[in-house]
Structure 1
Amino acid sequence: MPGRRAPTAVVLTALLSALVAGAAMTGSALLRDRPSARTPATETPPNSAASIGVSGCHRAPCQVLATATVGGTVIDLVADAGAASGRLRIGGPSASLVIETTITELGATLTHDSLQCHPASISACLIRGDTDEGATGQVVVGRSGKWSPLARAFYSRAGHLALVDIVNDQAPEVLAVQPDCPADTDCAKRPVYAQVFELSGEEVGCSRTYSRIDQLPGYPEVDFTAAQLRPCS
């Protein structure tokens, strides 16, 4: 296992504290060779859901792009016209909690494939969108009916972000596929590798490189075991 990974108990305690307090954690997930131009601010834009309501839109017409169910709770990803902004509606149409998306402020476009949720002791939903430089994602975590967004962004320069269960530690991890080449270069035909993070942003490890993205284990549902990861260099 990679030596830089934080102890599981510490990670879970930090996430639970964020949920109970209702406050988002700050910082950004550090990805190897991440383009500096895409570095997000340490704090996400303020949540403006209170001004638009549960089903309201900044720009009509409003549409539900995707729906997931976690522990009996219906979660909708709602977008404005053009999917240039959106929100996560926790509890379906009658929801009392609406979480504004932040990846759209970083240039991501929402689609029908932008929502992935993973039920666990600490559940998580990943909102992901395409950008000019790959894909960007934000995570919302939940436990015992309490949901809170984490104020950090995840990036994949190869355009693949997903929640996976690799470590088996009561919470999923974030898997980001990266091209094995320097930032700000044409990496279209370069080998790729998977980079795995705890929800807190702590790096778990990286896979070996593969010649093409479709060679990653399980592609397009990419997954690894903990034994297949090594420290990221």
Structure 2
Amino acid sequence: MVFAWSLRPDDTAERGVSPTQDELRCGPTACQAVVSADVGRDTVAVLVGQAAGVGGGQGQGAGRISTNGASGRNIFELTIAEQGAAITDGSLECVDAEVAVCLVRGPARSEVLGEVLVRRSGAWSRAQVPYVAGGGYLGLHDVDADGVADVVAVQRACAPGVDCARRFAQVFSLVGPSTDLGCTAVVPDASQLPGWPAVQPGRSQLHPCGE
């Protein structure tokens, strides 16, 4: 339902210094901003290659996530673009707080792929577990009311190799000792998930996944 793939080390992000956007390369072409968001006194932007049909819903193959502002200038690899995710103007969702969270997502085949940046103590870093939503929705919501947005992924509840309408929401925390907060009950259709179309379950609606 969710898995981590190997991440190539990002030397520029580790240094915390980036070139200007005009100097950035996304694969063989220059990077171009697809979508951006203000997060407190920072701006987070998602960049892809100019020749990739920006906003057109096609997997661009190479991209970057940039942060610029009070937290400094940083560049992160856009790993989901390398996995075939389509990057559009709807691919970025951010929640500003003491611990800020930005989710970059995009559809790839029958799934939605996502990766997360977290700002703690004035510094951005990449969450080490990319996310996969097999049920078509991936978003942010503070499910456990701890002041930090959680990742909500809608998954299929089908037999292996079978597609069906049955869905449930799986919730992951970005802080604390346990990253897996649990799953909602399976429903016959995604429209019956709490908060649909922006799926926002409450903590009391979760139980251990697999039960």
Alignment of 1:232 onto 2:209: yes
Q: Map of 1:1-233 to 2, 5 A cutoff? A: 31=1, 39-41=3-5, 43-47=6-10, 49=12, 53-55=19-21, 56-57=24-25, 58-80=27-49, 81-82=51-52, 83-91=60-68, 96-183=73-160, 185-187=161-163, 189-199=164-174, 202-233=179-210
Equivalent position SS for 2:200: coil
Residue identity opposite 1:193 in structure 2:
F
- State the 1:112 CA deviation: 1.5
- State the 1:141 CA deviation: 0.5
Equivalent position SS for 1:87: strand
Segment of structure 1 superposing worse, 51-60 or 134-143 = 51-60
Residue identity opposite 2:19 in structure 1:
G
- State the 1:119 CA deviation: 1.3
Q: Once superposed, what is the RMSD of the aligned Cα atoms?
A: 2.2
CA contact (8 A) 2:97 2:148 kept: yes
CA contact (8 A) 1:180 1:193 kept: yes
Give the TM-score normalised by structure 1: 0.74
Counterpart-to-counterpart distance in 1, 2:148 and 2:171: 13
CA contact (8 A) 2:40 2:96 kept: yes
1:19 — aligned with what?
none
Give the TM-score normalised by structure 2: 0.82
- State the 1:194 CA deviation: 0.3
2:55 — aligned with what?
none
Counterpart-to-counterpart distance in 1, 2:48 and 2:105: 13
Q: Identify which of structures 1 and 2 has the higher relative contact order when contacts are C-alpha pairs closer than 8 Å and 6+ apart.
A: 1
Residue identity opposite 2:101 in structure 1:
A
Q: Which runs of 5+ in 2 are unaligned?
A: 53-59
For 1:169-212, what per-residue CA distance to the aligned partner results, in whole angstroms no more than 9, with x for missing partners? 131110000011133x131x331000001125721011111222
1:26 — aligned with what?
none
Equivalent position SS for 1:91: strand
Q: Runs of at least 4 residues of structure 1 off by over 4 A?
A: 48-52
The count of corresponding residues between Structure 1 and Structure 2 is 192
Q: Which runs of 5+ in 1 are unaligned?
A: 1-30
CA contact (8 A) 2:66 2:74 kept: yes
